[in-house]
């Protein structure tokens, strides 16, 4: 969290607010106003240095938020795991994810998508299709139905996957996918 200072040319006043930064689903930086503090000229009547005071308040709020972020989990080691439970998650894709990012496929897809008007994330769709085909070979439909097995939050439908396939075909032809992928040297 930090103290944001917004100067308005229209009013000639500076507004202070405590703001928290975060990343949205697509990885873009966003800010959320946690507390509106007030106008600087009014706060200077109450505080000697309102910017320093409220910067310290924002820092204390951030430390408190980080301290309460931890949770405690208790496991019963005698209890067995129900294999039919849908809440099980898969770690097997971590190795493939490392290679996927080293090849810079994510960068290529995000770059090719920037001029398109999609409501879904083509990089997330490609990751799901690649990882699920490597770990659980099956159809595209089966991949979408089993997307909850991965830790990532994947927000798209089967229709979005089919729409993305058209996009993948277009960029493979027009942008020369094989020329952009960086092949690392494995010895």
Q: What is the pLDDT of residue 187?
A: 47
Do the Cβ atoms of 120 and 160 come closer than 8 Å?
A: yes
Q: Could you report the per-residue pLDDT of 83-118, keeping only the tens digit for each?
A: 666 566 667 778 888 888 888 888 888 877 777 887
**24 bridge partner residues:** none
- pLDDT level of residue 66 (50, 70, 90 thresholds): confident
- For residue 2, what are the contacts with CB-CB under 8 A and spacing of at least 6? 18, 19, 21, 55, 58, 62
| CA-derived radius of gyration, the chain | 24
Residue 132 has pLDDT above 70, yes or no: yes
Strands, E assignment, the chain: 2-8, 13-23, 29-39
Pairing type for strands 13-23 and 29-39 reads antiparallel
Where do runs of H (alpha helix) occur along 114-157? 122-135, 140-145
Q: CA-to-CA distance for 126 and 122, rounded, in angstroms?
A: 6
* Residue 169 parent element (H or E): helix 158-174
Domain of 146? 93-180
Which residues, listed in sequence order, are joined to residue 56 by a DSSP beta bridge? none
Pairing mode, if any, of strands 2-8 and 13-23? antiparallel
**Between residues 71 and 128, the one the model is more confident about:** 128
Residues 97 and 58 in one domain: no
Query: Quick check: 57 pLDDT over 80?
Result: yes
Residue 10 is assigned to a structural domain of this protein: yes
Instruction: Give residue 5's pLDDT.
Output: 92
Overall average pLDDT of the 74-89 stretch: 72
109 and 159 together in one domain? yes
Q: Are residues 50 and 107 in the same domain?
A: no
Structural domains counted in the chain: 2
Whether 169 and 110 map to the same domain: the answer is yes
My answer on whether 99 and 171 are in the same domain is yes
Q: What percent of the chain has pLDDT over 70?
A: 87
- The answer to whether residue 48 is domain-embedded is yes
Q: How many CB atoms lie within 10 A of CB 168?
A: 16
Among 74, 60, 164, 165, CA closest to 121: 164
Average pLDDT over residues 14-29: 87
Query: Is the per-residue pLDDT at 123 higher than 60?
Result: yes
Give me the pLDDT at residue 177, please.
61
Closest CA to 163 of 108, 126, 110: 126
- 117 domain-assigned: yes
82 belongs to a structural domain:
no
What does the pLDDT average to over 28-50?
90
Q: What is the pLDDT of residues 135-186, one digit of tens each?
A: 888 899 988 888 887 777 788 889 998 988 888 888 776 666 656 555 555 5
The reply to whether 76 falls in a domain is no
The predicted pLDDT at position 17 comes to 92
């Amino acid at each position: 969290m930090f103290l944001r200072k917004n100067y308005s040319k229209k009013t000639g006043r500076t507004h202070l607010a405590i703001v928290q930064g975060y990343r949205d689903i697509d990885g873009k930086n966003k800010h959320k106003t946690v507390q509106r503090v007030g106008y600087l000229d009014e706060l200077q009547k109450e505080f000697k240095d309102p910017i320093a005071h409220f910067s310290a308040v924002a820092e204390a709020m951030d430390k408190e938020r980080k301290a309460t972020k931890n949770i405690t989990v208790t496991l019963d080691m005698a209890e067995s795991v129900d294999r039919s439970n849908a809440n099980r998650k898969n770690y097997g894709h971590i190795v493939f994810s490392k290679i996927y990012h080293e090849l810079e496929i994510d960068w290529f897809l995000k770059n090719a998508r920037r001029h398109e008007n999609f409501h879904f994330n083509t990089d997330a769709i490609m990751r799901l299709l690649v990882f699920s085909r490597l770990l659980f070979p099956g159809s595209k439909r089966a991949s979408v139905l089993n997307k909850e097995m991965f830790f990532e939050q994947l927000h798209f439908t089967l229709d979005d996957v089919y729409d993305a396939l058209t996009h993948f075909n277009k960029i493979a032809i027009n942008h020369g996918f094989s020329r952009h992928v960086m092949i690392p040297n494995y010895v």
